[in-house]
Amino acid sequence: MHSSISPSEREVPDGQWGQTLLIAVLITCLVVGGAETIVRRQGYQPTVPDTRELWSFHRSRIYDDEGKSVVLLGASRMQTGFSPRVFRNRFHDYHLTQLAVSATSPLATLKDLANDDRFVGIVLCSLSPSALQEGVEGAHSQSRNVEHYREQRHTWNVEERLKLQFVNSHFAIARPQFRLRPLIRQFITGTEFAAPGFISKQLDRSQRLDFQKVDVEKQRARRVGGTIQFYEKYVPETPSREDWMATARALKPYIDRIKSRGGAVVLIRFPETGEHWRLSVSHFPKEEFWDQLSELTGAPTIHFKDVPGLAIFDCPDTSHLDYRDTDAFTNALLDECVRQKILPDHE
């Protein structure tokens, strides 16, 4: 016999539902907090996926009516070696935007900023001489990021932004390896967790390298090996100085365009050490492939070898700074920017 009582007429059990909900929330917080404590003790840190959407979002926020916008361009050295916190502490009335992209040449973004009449600001551009070698820009261009932004794909829904801002930025357990599917796969296969890794990425697109979390010798060998392959593929034994100078000279109209709107561009050579530096100067001697760069482009330059406060740093992998050195390096770099009147003296 079917019951004559409809679902809507069924009695709801008595109980203090508010208290039950509160207990459920507390249990969830304890579980999440416990898991977060465990993975943090294992060396894992929060990290934000560095996508073209995130790059485009920051690209859309460079505008400042008073010209107090500073944009960082370059590749991984700018992302890992420049401390946004130090900059903001010293120049709190400026808006800082990180647009460097690892393993790329910054020329496409520099030209995009020059062609954007709305942008009035200061560009701090990390540049290696090899970036002006024929063939490098085509293979390592940031043009895809620029196109992504120009296609107006720089917005995302509120849910995704909240996830990036509050979940990925603050919880190590939000890292991909701690998602349910990878965890189940590891449980079934009996494999161990991947090592914490020495790179953590922030919402502002800066990155932090902790070389104490990696086998430095292996990392150095991997970095030098990759650099050797790069030079073998793109750089002749004796690069043409005339061709290199022509490429550098072609940047001048773009730099002049930014300057004509009241902005500025400074080209910066970040530190290299060991085999990386020896490879660089053997192909691009500083006196031939850097010292004339300011005259060719019309932009002031900063080379780490010319500034005592910048020349003292060691790169554990021969190419990048450990995060423990980034504050001191950034302060020394900003001091030089002030000395050259690129940035104002706030002291």
* DSSP letter string, 77-88: HHHHH--HHHHH
Among residues 327, 31, 319, 19, the alpha carbon closest in space to that of 173 is found at 31
| Pair 320, 76: CB distance under 8 Å | yes
First-residue to last-residue Cα distance in the chain: 88
On the question of pLDDT at 186 being above 70, the answer is no
Mean of the pLDDT values across residues 40-46?
67
Q: What is the pLDDT of residues 111-145, one digit of tens each?
A: 999 999 999 999 999 999 999 999 999 999 999 99
- Mark out the alpha helices in 235-284 (DSSP H runs): 241-249, 252-260, 274-283
Mean of the pLDDT values across residues 91-105?
96
For the chain, where are the E strands, in sequence order? 69-73, 95-98, 122-126, 199-201, 207-209, 264-269, 301-303
pLDDT of residue 64: 75
Among residues 125, 60, 127, the alpha carbon closest in space to that of 95 is found at 60
Q: What is the pLDDT of residues 292-339, one digit of tens each?
A: 999 999 999 999 999 999 999 999 999 999 999 999 999 999 999 999
CA–CA gap between residue 30 and residue 332 (Å, rounded): 44
On the question of pLDDT at 234 being above 50, the answer is yes
Q: 64-140+197-339 adopts what CATH topology?
A: Rossmann fold (3.40.50)
pLDDT of residue 20: 80
Binning pLDDT at 50, 70 and 90, where does residue 239 land? very high
Instruction: For helices 107-114 and 143-150, give the axis angle rounded to 10 degrees.
Output: 40
